[in-house]
Amino acid sequence: MTRRILVTGADGQLGWELARTLMPLGEVFALNRAECDLANPAALAAALDRVRPGIICNAAAYTAVDRAESEPDLARRVNATAVGEIGRWAAANSAIVLHYSTDYVFDGRATTPYTEDAPTNPQNVYGRTKLAGEQLLAASGAAALTCRTSWVFSMRGHNFLRTMLRLAREREVLRVVADQRGSPTWARWLAEASAQLLHDSVRSPSNASEFWRSLGGTLHLTASGETSWHGFAERILALDPLRTEHRAQRTEAISTAEFPTPASRPSYSVLNCGKANSLGVHRPSWDLQLKGALG
């Protein structure tokens, strides 16, 4: 029997890639915000009842990190409350859930990569609501896996890669924060890694719940390696196949203090992906993933 796969957030970076990558695994129902609005409890419930998926990939989220500081209720509704509702529906209907969270659940004070069981301490509304979503999903009783990732980029949507490509054509000097470190991760690779994780579940539905629970409910999933936003920006400009169109002559490394934002960011949010490695997930470097995205 073909498994029904629901992908939320189909217009987002990750949702768009999941909708295409998961097609070999089942019948994919990729719903955008108009079709499945996590901010609307009735709309979410109706979408779940209509599709009746065996697998739910929740790629929808409130990701406007700075705006979340002034819209905490909406951020919590989408990133937390709705996730708990998805989990409870899945538990009641024998579905499994693949959910995505963030490196921002950590405070950034570490000096070595964070493991899945490292203490969390988010420093902004976005991080706190994403952590709450993880906790509500875990408490729902669903067979669920939360994949924490970081610095997601692609050639679609709003992200750092597209911002740098645009600014390189508008400004002569790009001033970019150099004292925050993480692992830039390509949305397409993240979708492909997700498909790999789901593969055994689709092949052996009776074992899916045990497989998910054996992973401990949380998995770190990022590109390998680390860099700063400034280092990321320099590679974007160097690898851009249309770099002859750049006005930018150089990038200037600045501190977080020189670029204040409403939301505090962790200064170090590299995730330890040893568990993913042990599952056989191939994790190309962020630099190789960037080259793939730029084509």
Alpha helix stretches (DSSP H) within the chain: 13-21, 41-51, 72-76, 82-92, 125-139, 160-168, 187-203, 205-214, 229-239, 274-278, 286-294
Three-state SS at 247: coil
Give residue for tokens 């029904």: 4
- Phi-psi category of residue 86: left, alpha or beta, with phi > 0 → left and psi -120 to 50 → alpha: alpha
With CA atoms as reference, report the closest residue to 13 among 61, 55, 82.
61
- Active site includes 62? no
In angstroms, the first-to-last Cα distance of the chain is: 37
Inter-CA distances, 37 with 67, 185, 210, Å? 19, 26, 30
CB–CB of 215/267 below 8 Å?
Answer: no
In angstroms, the CA 139 to CA 143 distance is 10
Annotated active-site residue in 62, 100, 104, 126? 126
Pairing between β-strand 152-153 and β-strand 96-102 as defined by DSSP bridges: unpaired
3-state secondary structure of 264: coil
Beta strands 181-182 and 227-228, pairing class: antiparallel
Active site (catalytic) residues: 126
